[in-house]
Structures are given as structure tokens and as C-alpha cells.
């Protein structure tokens, strides 16, 4: 039987209706004007803040989510099925970038979660905090010492509960318990299914690529065991961790299928009203205390601009009344460019064998929550810096200075997998992927309105390689990947590169010409699914930026932005852990401000 038919059967068996105080049709609620807070977006930070604010039974919250429920969605539960939640599915906003002029005019996916839990319900489940220098730079830029790495550790730990992996193997030496929380809602663990690739990676490590016990120590240089948001073999999302246990709270209402159009000041200058559609009906909800915007890096600017908050000249050109001239809205979009370096391997199996293994793994997961389906993407990951002995790196540093925020902060991520983004092909061992990621991009993109249809999907421009140093870092990232697989053990495992353009790079390695390398890079670059920064935080009173360090939108009252769009720089890693930290911190700030 085809794996697709097996999966459809499991989905039918697993489907269930929403329960608790989750509403699909808001017409049954007597009034939408009785809430202290209206939160726009039931994604990662929206779910966390809604949960934390309603710990006080006297505080009422309406949480508006444009997508549907995560409950009973099999694809969102099984870590190994994450590829079924990507672009083209109901769980995704299915946005696409504008043509990228530095990538042969290719368009690039712009995925974001369109479901309760947001991107935490569909992402790769990576848990990496980045480097201490990332957050110290935030503190220095904003003038708020509360963003220092040392000050944030209690918030990282508050959200987290580090648990045993699905296979219950001994994880001593695979992480540092002193760095992690044990009482938080979010489940985090190391890989719960070993594979032969693990030993191949760990056997490669040396002075150039050292072992690191726990990359969440603030100095994440080296290869270590991957930490993911998984518990009991199942995805742990913001919805499962922060909402499911508290759906009986009478002071928390969650509205699904609720697409927000704009925020307005209904009486005076204070933003207090959210206009949205629920099942096609136009509705308003009013917040007595504050409106909290957590619609995500693409939709936060979209809502602000449609509300008249943004660049006054651009808004006037689209006949949108200007409420507040805030030119930085949507102008700091940051994404870490990535290339999937792909090889065939010397030990492929047949399609029939792969399908049989796939079906067996699904059955095992369904019965015991163990087996290959508990593997998110990879059990190992590496963070490294550019090769300072390379004359090109010396010239790069001489021209631009140190590109990373500190000497212990990585420039590059290397991610080894065996077709991890395709759950069926993952069993064939037919191809090996070693992702090269530029963790420190200086290029900044933008989110703008479509002048033909301002209320339609936003125009997303990553502006990859707009800053010249970024492609130079990516050259080093590809060279680092080739250096990693240059040992005899790896050459026995790898066959020919899948892409002729990568084959040309490999044939010239280690002295690859700029023409050969850049041809490969421009044809192969995509995203890391790490978009941040479109509503950047800046010092209070600064003319640039969108929010102050306490998340208030500049120039208006009653409105905060509370998600990853406020990051002035992306952390050197995957931004999920930082987003949980941000949500925990903003919840405490809101409580203190309104107590």
C-alpha cells in the first residue's frame, strides 16, 4: 500500500473537533468589547502571552487566529511528517517572495504557520539560542540592559522543560543540564532515534570542526547534538505547550478563522479596536487595556500599513489615511540565506524498500511514539566561523571588520541530513544534504503593500546578497561544507553531486574560482525559514525603528508588537528559542506596566 493512503487513513482516525473555549464562529459570543487585551495572531508568541496574561483570573484576553486549530492534525503531531505542513498546505500562509534580482530573478517561498501555534506548529522544531553576543548587541543597540544575555537566561529557562528523548537513551554528555529549564511548558530534548549518519558526523570532528557539548552555552562553536521541541516523540508547539492545558479558563477566548485587516483608534488617539473577518463576516473587537500584535514577520507590517502606520509618502500614494508616519515599518526584513549541498550516496535502496520502511515507521509511531518518525531533521548540527587563514577572508575582514557580533559567535551553520525534508525519501538513503547557512546576513529586505491590492498578500523582498559581504560569507559557507566531507570516510559514503553546478565547484575545490562559486550560489540559494526583523526594536525616542525596548509601537498609544519581527538582528541560529524568550519577557513587562 502507498504511504499516502496509510497516512490518509491515520488522519481520518485522528481528526477531532475543537474543544474548550476555541470558537470557529464568533456570532455566539455576546460581546467582543469585554476584553482587557486583544492579541492578533495565535502563533508562537501570541499563544505564550495569552497563556501568561490569563494566569491572572481578573485579566481577560481574546486571541485572534487567522488559521484553524492544531488539535487532531496528524501532520502537526508527528515530527517526521513536517514536510507535509510546508508551502501548498492549509497550515501555511503560502506566501512567495517577489523575484530576487541577485538570484537569477527566482522567487523564493515565504512560509509561515497558518494554524494555532503558528510556525511553532509547522517548523523544523530546532531549539538553538544563538550566541551571547547576539543579545548583548540588542542591549547595546536599544540601550536596554534587560536584553543582555545574562539577564535573559531566566526567560529561556522559564519556557523550557528538558525531557528524555523518545528512545530513552543515556543523554549524558549530549547536553548541559545546568543550562536548561525543567519546569517550563515547552518540551525540549535531543534526538530520539539514532542513525548511521550520526557516527559519520561525530567521527569527522577535529580541531577545525570540534565537538561542543551544548551549543546553548552562549558560545556555540562546534558540532553538537541537536536539541528540538519534541516531547514523548511528539511535536511540542506553543499551542500544545501553552494553550491546551488552559482551555477551561473563562478569561481566555480563542477565535479561529479570524483574519485581521487593521487596528484603529475608535475614540481619541489610543489604538483600541481590531477590525477582522470571521467566516466572511466583518467584525470589531475592543481592548480595554492594549492591543498586542503577534501576526508574524510578514503580517505585522501588512496590518500596520493597512492601518495607516508606516511611511507616510508610500501610504498616501495608495490612498491610505496616515495615522502615524513610521518609515521603518517593514524595512528591516532579515533572512539567513541557505544552500542545500546535495550528493547521491553509494548505498541507495529501492523505492519498494523505502515505502515499506516508511509504512512501518508510521505504524510504530502511531503505536508507541517511537522510531524514525520522532526524528525532526537531523541529530547533529555544526556552527563554525570563516577560515581566517584564507586570503579572501583576510580581505573581507580588512574591508568590513568583524562581521559577527563577537569572536565566539559563528558565521556559518552546517546541517547534515539524509533528505530530512522529504519524509518518504528520507528512508531511501539515496541522497545526502549538507546545508550551508549564512548566519550573519547584512542584507535587509522589505515587506510592502501591493499597490494593486493593498489588502491582499504582502510583497516580500528578501533582497538576498544586496549587501556585498553576504555572498562572500556564503562562499566560505560552501567551502566549509566541502572541507567537512573531504575525509576518506565521507568520500566512501558520497557519490556524485546531484547538481551539475555543485559538481563544477567540487571539481575545482579547494581553489574554486569566483565565477564557478557564484554561479552555483545564485542558482541555489533559498531560505532558512528564519525571517525576522520587519518591525525592528530601537531605543526609546530614536527616529528609526518601529518599537521601543518595551515593545510599544512608536508614535501611537495602546499598541505593542510582541513577536520575532522586533529583532534588530537575527540570532546566530534558529530563532524559535529566542521567540519563546521574547514572549515570556513581554508578558512580564505587560503585567508590570498594567498592574
pLDDT in tens, 68-93: 999 999 999 999 999 899 889 999 99
Confidence of residue 119 (pLDDT cuts 50, 70, 90): very high
pLDDT at 426 (0 to 100): 55
Confidence of residue 27 (pLDDT cuts 50, 70, 90): confident
pLDDT at 355 (0 to 100): 81
pLDDT at 595 (0 to 100): 82
Residue the block writes with cell 517593514: 330
**Of 455, 457, 64, 59, whose CA–CA distance to 274 is shortest?**
64
Residue 422 has pLDDT above 80, yes or no: no
Stretch (H or E) spanning 131? none
- Range list of H helices, 217-320: 238-242, 299-306, 312-317
The DSSP output letter for 93 is -
Confidence of residue 12 (pLDDT cuts 50, 70, 90): very low
CA distances from 197 to 263, 358, 402, 480 (A): 50, 18, 34, 18
pLDDT at 418 (0 to 100): 83
Confidence of residue 429 (pLDDT cuts 50, 70, 90): low
Chain-centroid distance of CA 536 in Å reads 16
The DSSP output letter for 537 is B
The DSSP output letter for 97 is P
Residue 18 has pLDDT above 50, yes or no: no
The residue ranges of DSSP E strands in 527-594, in sequence order, are 559-561
Confidence of residue 427 (pLDDT cuts 50, 70, 90): low
Task: Give percent of the chain above pLDDT 90.
Answer: 87
pLDDT at 430 (0 to 100): 65
pLDDT tens digits, 40-58: 999 999 999 999 999 999 9
- Range list of H helices, 494-593: 500-508, 514-524, 576-593
Confidence of residue 346 (pLDDT cuts 50, 70, 90): confident
Confidence of residue 4 (pLDDT cuts 50, 70, 90): very low
Sign (positive or negative) of CA dihedral 42, 44, 50, 55: positive
pLDDT at 7 (0 to 100): 40
Does a cis peptide bond (omega within 30 degrees of 0) precede residue 510?
A: yes
**Residues in contact with 423: Cβ distance below 8 Å, sequence separation at least 6, in sequence order:** 80, 81, 82, 83, 84, 358, 373
- The Cα–Cα gap between 536 and 548 comes to 9
Residue 536 has pLDDT above 70, yes or no: yes
pLDDT at 1 (0 to 100): 36
CB-based burial of residue 169 (10 Å sphere; 0-12 exposed, 13-18 middle, 19+ buried)?
middle
Q: Which range among 331-335, 360-364, 416-420 shows the weakest confidence by mean pLDDT?
A: 416-420
**Of 482, 521, 481, whose CA–CA distance to 501 is shortest?**
521
CA distances from 307 to 74, 102, 259, 454, 577 (A): 37, 32, 14, 11, 30
pLDDT tens digits, 99-111: 999 999 999 999 9
Stretch (H or E) spanning 170? none
Residue 276 has pLDDT above 50, yes or no: yes
pLDDT tens digits, 189-203: 999 999 889 999 999
The pTM (predicted TM-score) of the whole model is 0.95
Residue 545 has pLDDT above 90, yes or no: yes
Confidence of residue 30 (pLDDT cuts 50, 70, 90): confident
Q: Which range among 22-26, 109-113, 147-151, 472-476 shows the weakest confidence by mean pLDDT?
A: 22-26
Q: Across all residues in the chain, what is the average pLDDT?
A: 93
Task: Give percent of the chain above pLDDT 70.
Answer: 95
pLDDT at 424 (0 to 100): 54
Confidence of residue 502 (pLDDT cuts 50, 70, 90): very high
pLDDT tens digits, 227-266: 999 999 999 999 999 999 999 999 999 999 999 999 999 9
C-alpha cell at 363: 505504524
Q: Torsion angle, CA of 172/178/179/184, rounded to 10 degrees?
A: 100
pLDDT at 348 (0 to 100): 74
Residue 480 has pLDDT above 70, yes or no: yes
Residue 2 has pLDDT above 60, yes or no: no
- The Cα–Cα gap between 547 and 134 comes to 19
Residue 306 has pLDDT above 90, yes or no: yes
- The Cα–Cα gap between 558 and 540 comes to 16
Chain-centroid distance of CA 89 in Å reads 17
Residue 218 has pLDDT above 80, yes or no: yes
pLDDT at 8 (0 to 100): 37
CA distances from 214 to 204, 207, 221, 522 (A): 18, 17, 10, 33
Question: How would you classify the pairing of strands 494-497 and 459-461?
Answer: unpaired
Residue 313 has pLDDT above 50, yes or no: yes
User: How many Cα neighbours within 13 Å face the side chain of 99?
Assistant: 4
pLDDT at 9 (0 to 100): 37
Amino acid at each position: 500500500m502507498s504511504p499516502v493512503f496509510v497516512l490518509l487513513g491515520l488522519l481520518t482516525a485522528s481528526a477531532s473537533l475543537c474543544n474548550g473555549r476555541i470558537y470557529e464562529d464568533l456570532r455566539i459570543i455576546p460581546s467582543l468589547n469585554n476584553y482587557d487585551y486583544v492579541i492578533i495572531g495565535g502563533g508562537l508568541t501570541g499563544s505564550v502571552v495569552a497563556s501568561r496574561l490569563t494566569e491572572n483570573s481578573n485579566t481577560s484576553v481574546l486571541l485572534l487566529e487567522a488559521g484553524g486549530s492544531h488539535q487532531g492534525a496528524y501532520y502537526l503531531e508527528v515530527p517526521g511528517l513536517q514536510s507535509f505542513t510546508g508551502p501548498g498546505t492549509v497550515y501555511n500562509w503560502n506566501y512567495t517572495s517577489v523575484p530576487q534580482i541577485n538570484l537569477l530573478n527566482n522567487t523564493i517561498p515565504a512560509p509561515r504557520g497558518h494554524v494555532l501555534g503558528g510556525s511553532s506548529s509547522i517548523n523544523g522544531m530546532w531549539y538553538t539560542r544563538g550566541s551571547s553576543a547576539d543579545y548583548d548587541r540588542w542591549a547595546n543597540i536599544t540601550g536596554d540592559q534587560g536584553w543582555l544575555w545574562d539577564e535573559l537566561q531566566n526567560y529561556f529557562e522559564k519556557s523550557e522543560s528538558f525531557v528524555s528523548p523518545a528512545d530513552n537513551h543515556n543523554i549524558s554528555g549530549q547536553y548541559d543540564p545546568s543550562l536548561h529549564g525543567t519546569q517550563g511548558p515547552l518540551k525540549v530534548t535531543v534526538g530520539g532515534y539514532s542513525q548511521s549518519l550520526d557516527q559519520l558526523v561525530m567521527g569527522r570532528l577535529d580541531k577545525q570542526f570540534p565537538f561542543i557539548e551544548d551549543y546553548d552555552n552562549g558560545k556555540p562553536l562546534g558540532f553538537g547534538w541537536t536539541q528540538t521541541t519534541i516531547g514523548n516523540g511528539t511535536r511540542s508547539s506553543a499551542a500544545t505547550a501553552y494553550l491546551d492545558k488552559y482551555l477551561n479558563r473563562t478569561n481566555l477566548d480563542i477565535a479561529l478563522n479570524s483574519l485581521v485587516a487593521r487596528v484603529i483608534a475608535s475614540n481619541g488617539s489610543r489604538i483600541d479596536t481590531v477590525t477582522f473577518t470571521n467566516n466572511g463576516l466583518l467584525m470589531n473587537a475592543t481592548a480595554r487595556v492594549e492591543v498586542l500584535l503577534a501576526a508574524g514577520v510578514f503580517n505585522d507590517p501588512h496590518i500596520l500599513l493597512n492601518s495607516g502606520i508606516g511611511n507616510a509618502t508610500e501610504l498616501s500614494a495608495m490612498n491610505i489615511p496616515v495615522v502615524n508616519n513610521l518609515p521603518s515599518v517593514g524595512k528591516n526584513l532579515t533572512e539567513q540565506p541557505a544552500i542545500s549541498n546535495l550528493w547521491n550516496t553509494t548505498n541507495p535502496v529501492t523505492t519498494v524498500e523505502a515505502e515499506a520502511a516508511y509504512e512501518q515507521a508510521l505504524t510504530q509511531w502511531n503505536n508507541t511514539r517511537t522510531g524514525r518518525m520522532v526524528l525532526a531533521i537531523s541529530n547533529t548540527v555544526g556552527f563554525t566561523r570563516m577560515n581566517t587563514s584564507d586570503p579572501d577572508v583576510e580581505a573581507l575582514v580588512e574591508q568590513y571588520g568583524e562581521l559577527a557580533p563577537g569572536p565566539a559567535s559563528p558565521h556559518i551553520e552546517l546541517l547534515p541530513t539524509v533528505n530530512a525534508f522529504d519524509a518518504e525519501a528520507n528512508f531511501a538513503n539515496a541522497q545526502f544534504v549538507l546545508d550551508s547557512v549564512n548566519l550573519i546576513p547584512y542584507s535587509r529586505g522589505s515587506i510592502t503593500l501591493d499597490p494593486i491590492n493593498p489588502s491582499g498578500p504582502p510583497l516580500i523582498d528578501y533582497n538576498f546578497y544586496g549587501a556585498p559581504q553576504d555572498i562572500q560569507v556564503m562562499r566560505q559557507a560552501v567551502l566549509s561544507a566541502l572541507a567537512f566531507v573531504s575525509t576518506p570516510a565521507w568520500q566512501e559514503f558520497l557519490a556524485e553531486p546531484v547538481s551539475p553546478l555543485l559538481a563544477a565547484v567540487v571539481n575545482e575545490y579547494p581553489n574554486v574560482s569566483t565565477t564557478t562559486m557564484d554561479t552555483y550560489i545564485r542558482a541555489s540559494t533559498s531560505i532558512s525559514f528564519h525571517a525576522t526583523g520587519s518591525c525592528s526594536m530601537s531605543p526609546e525616542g530614536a527616529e528609526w525603528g518601529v518599537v521601543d525596548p518595551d515593545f510599544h509601537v512608536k508614535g501611537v498609544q495602546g499598541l505593542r508588537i510582541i513577536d520575532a519581527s522586533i529583532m534588530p538582528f537575527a540570532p546566530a541560529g534558529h530563532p524559535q528559542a529566542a521567540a519563546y524568550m521574547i514572549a515570556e519577557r513581554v508578558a512580564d513587562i505587560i503585567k508590570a506596566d498594567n498592574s
